[in-house]
Amino acid sequence: MINMKILKRVIVVVALMAMIPMQIFAQKQQIKCFRTDYVLEVLEKLKSPNDSVADAARNTIIAMSDEAWMSRDTRMHDALKEAIISYTEKFHAKDFAPFLVAQLGKVCVANDIEDVMRLVENEELADHVIRTVGDIDGSGSYIENYILTHHDDLKYKASLAYGVGKQNVASMEDELVSWLKGADEPTKIEIYKALVVIRSNDKTTSIIKKGAKKLLKSKSTTSRIASLEIITGLEGEKAMPTLYKALKDKSSDVRVVALDHMKPYVNQDVVKNVMKKCKKGDALVDAINWLGDIKDDSQMELIIKQLSSENPKLVKAAIRAIFKIDNADGINAVKPMFGGDYQEIIKESMIAYEGNYRDVMNDVMWVGTPKQRLGALQIVECRPEPGLNERVREQTLHNDKAVKDMAYKVLKLVVVPANANALKTMLENCDDKYVEDVQLAIKAAMQNVPGNVKNDFVSTLKHVKPDKISRYYKVFAYFGTDLCVDKLIDAYHNGPDVFEAKEALLLVENEAYQQRISEVLK
């Protein structure tokens, strides 16, 4: 069954990409999602010099391949498979061919493997193609047969080893071991990873351990990281001594991988050992980030101390960890930093914050300095919360211009229908420069209420001063009810603010009134 949510996403993205009116596209071109020639049209746009068009094409292919994988719809499967293979064969598409081949791994099934393997003839893509075959469910027997039939002139052993491991082709254990002799490090890594999955005896286990320990001494960061993955996959918790030792590695990437592999075995002894080995500099940064990931607050005093560090990396790690852990003392220590030099990392952390976001933001806007309140409002702009509307409205009365401006700007993001009367008062009393902000706030507050509720709101405006009523014209246009359109037309014919009334009439989106409005404005 087709997942219509994903299909609609495909339609929207492609319509925007092609700059096609949405209604026309939905009516006339939706069926093309299941046609090879249509997919080829999308693929062509990957070469567009316009980055937004190329990105939209890429996102469309991803959405379609996700849908084909989840729904197993044969029409979309066939269209994607045929289009991607033929396009890649014809143009080679160096810049994005690996991306397209990877999509085949999601789309294709065992019966498609021969078609996919046609792309092996392009040597630049061969590794990607074989790796993709390894991702296709049920490809194990094909991979085994391929290895046996090409035994004497076998290429691409790293990718074949990946497939053996992914498909758990146990019969290839001795074959993979034989490949180790003379293999380069990247190939050995894939072989060891596969052998971890399919190993059947102590001899193979010993070979893996010996090889992985050699990789730990490699000059290549990638190889050292792979060795940790192999050793942990082989030994589980018994790999902890190796992981502790890796915390002294000069590469942060290696240290981070070591810390990640410790996560399943975390206890307070592990935490203490990590902190002993990561006492300063970038190693301490990695450790604090890790404490945030595992939500451990046992080192909170140390983390808070880093907020005053002269090392920006440590400060950022501390802020990030504090919000992930959701420690009250830590958050209180960060609050004075809102709006300061570390505003971006605070914003990033608050957007992802899983604790009581509303309480933190209300508190900063209630007692904070102007700079701190401004920082809080900038966060609200990125993570709106209706429960903050009262506090945001209070900031519109603040003496600081920057705070006031930002409060009016985010007002539309936090309002609810219950705020309508308060917004009405604001619209009638605010400075001219904020009128549009309040109009948009009223629009946002009332956008989902029935037409009769909007009309009730309009009916309360009988006593608005004549010099202020024009401020409501755009609100009437946004509401778009019979009563509102009638009031705008009357204002256009009889009111003192004809220009404002005309401007508002042009904003009415309700199609039912378009003909009438056109005749009025002739």
* C-alpha to C-alpha distance for 377 and 389, rounded to whole angstroms: 11
Q: In whole numbers, what is the pLDDT of the chain averaged over residues? A: 91
* C-alpha to C-alpha distance for 21 and 32, rounded to whole angstroms: 16
Contact 424, 460 (CB under 8 A): yes
pLDDT value at residue 110: 93
Rg (CA), the chain: 31
Which pLDDT tens digit goes with each residue over 107-157?
899 999 999 999 998 888 899 999 999 999 999 999 999 999 998 888 899
* C-alpha to C-alpha distance for 389 and 382, rounded to whole angstroms: 14
Q: Residue 410: is its pLDDT beyond 80?
A: yes
Residue 352's identity, in one-letter code, is A
**Distance spanning both ends of the chain, measured CA to CA:** 51
Q: How confident is the model at residue 487 (pLDDT cuts 50, 70, 90)?
A: very high
Q: Which residues contact 453 (CB under 8 A, 6 or more apart)?
A: 417, 446
pLDDT value at residue 511: 85
* C-alpha to C-alpha distance for 350 and 322, rounded to whole angstroms: 10
Output 278 or 15, whichever has higher pLDDT: 278
Lowest mean per-residue pLDDT among 348-362, 406-420, 502-516: 502-516
Residue 322: Cβ within 10 Å count: 29
Q: Residue 91: is its pLDDT beyond 80?
A: no
Matching residue, tokens 């994005």: 96
Which pLDDT tens digit goes with each residue over 37-88?
888 888 888 888 898 988 888 988 888 888 888 888 888 888 899 999 988 8
Nearest in space to 32 (alpha carbons), one of 59, 52, 17, 10? 10
Structure tokens at 484: 């509102």
Helix 401-414 to helix 370-382 angle (10° resolution) is: 30
Nearest in space to 85 (alpha carbons), one of 66, 71, 105? 105
Report the phi/psi class of residue 480: left, alpha or beta, with left for phi > 0 and alpha for psi in -120 to 50. left
Widest Cα–Cα separation across the chain: 96
Share of the chain above pLDDT 70, in %: 93
pLDDT value at residue 32: 52
Lowest mean per-residue pLDDT among 43-52, 261-270, 475-484, 498-507: 43-52
Q: Residue 481: is its pLDDT beyond 60?
A: yes
Q: Residue 29: is its pLDDT beyond 70?
A: no
Share of the chain above pLDDT 90, in %: 75
* C-alpha to C-alpha distance for 352 and 320, rounded to whole angstroms: 10
pLDDT value at residue 278: 97
Structure tokens at 218: 């490699």
Residue 162 DSSP symbol: H
Lowest mean per-residue pLDDT among 238-247, 333-342, 434-443, 461-470: 461-470
Q: Which residues contact 13 (CB under 8 A, 6 or more apart)?
A: 56, 59, 60, 63
Q: Which residues contact 261 (CB under 8 A, 6 or more apart)?
A: 228, 229, 232, 239, 243
Which pLDDT tens digit goes with each residue over 319-369?
999 999 999 999 999 999 999 999 999 999 999 999 999 999 999 999 999
Average pLDDT score over residue span 232-254 = 97
Structure tokens at 8: 């609609």
Contact 39, 13 (CB under 8 A): no
Residue 46 DSSP symbol: G
Average pLDDT score over residue span 235-256 = 97
pLDDT value at residue 39: 86
Q: How far is CA 238 from CA 50, 174, 291, 360, in A?
A: 52, 26, 21, 42
Matching residue, tokens 């391929």: 146
The CB-based long-range contact list for 27-30 (8 Å cut-off, 24+ gap) reads: none
Burial, 367: exposed, middle or buried (Cβ in 10 Å; 0-12, 13-18, 19+)? exposed
In three-state secondary structure terms, 388 is helix
Structure tokens at 456: 């009730």
Q: Residue 314: is its pLDDT beyond 50?
A: yes
Q: Residue 17: is its pLDDT beyond 80?
A: no
Average pLDDT score over residue span 384-407 = 96
pLDDT value at residue 74: 85
Average pLDDT score over residue span 209-231 = 96
Question: What are the residue ranges spanned by the domains of the chain?
Answer: 1-137, 266-324
How much helix, strand and coil, in percent to the nearest 5, is found in the chain? 80, 0, 20
Average pLDDT score over residue span 485-507 = 92
Cα 315 → chain centroid: 24
pLDDT value at residue 65: 87
* C-alpha to C-alpha distance for 340 and 373, rounded to whole angstroms: 11
Per DSSP, helices labelled H in 343-450 are: 343-352, 357-367, 370-382, 389-395, 401-414, 420-429, 435-446
pLDDT value at residue 8: 46
Contact 65, 107 (CB under 8 A): yes
Average pLDDT score over residue span 402-417 = 97
The pTM for the full model equals 0.82
Nearest in space to 291 (alpha carbons), one of 324, 335, 339? 324
Q: Residue 15: is its pLDDT beyond 50?
A: no
Q: Which residues contact 216 (CB under 8 A, 6 or more apart)?
A: 224, 227, 228, 231, 242, 246
Nearest in space to 408 (alpha carbons), one of 383, 431, 385, 382? 431
Average pLDDT score over residue span 207-216 = 96
Structure tokens at 3: 């997942």
Q: Residue 27: is its pLDDT beyond 80?
A: no
Three-state DSSP string of 273-313: HHHHHCCCHHHHHHHHHHHHHHCCCCCHHHHHHHHHCCCHH
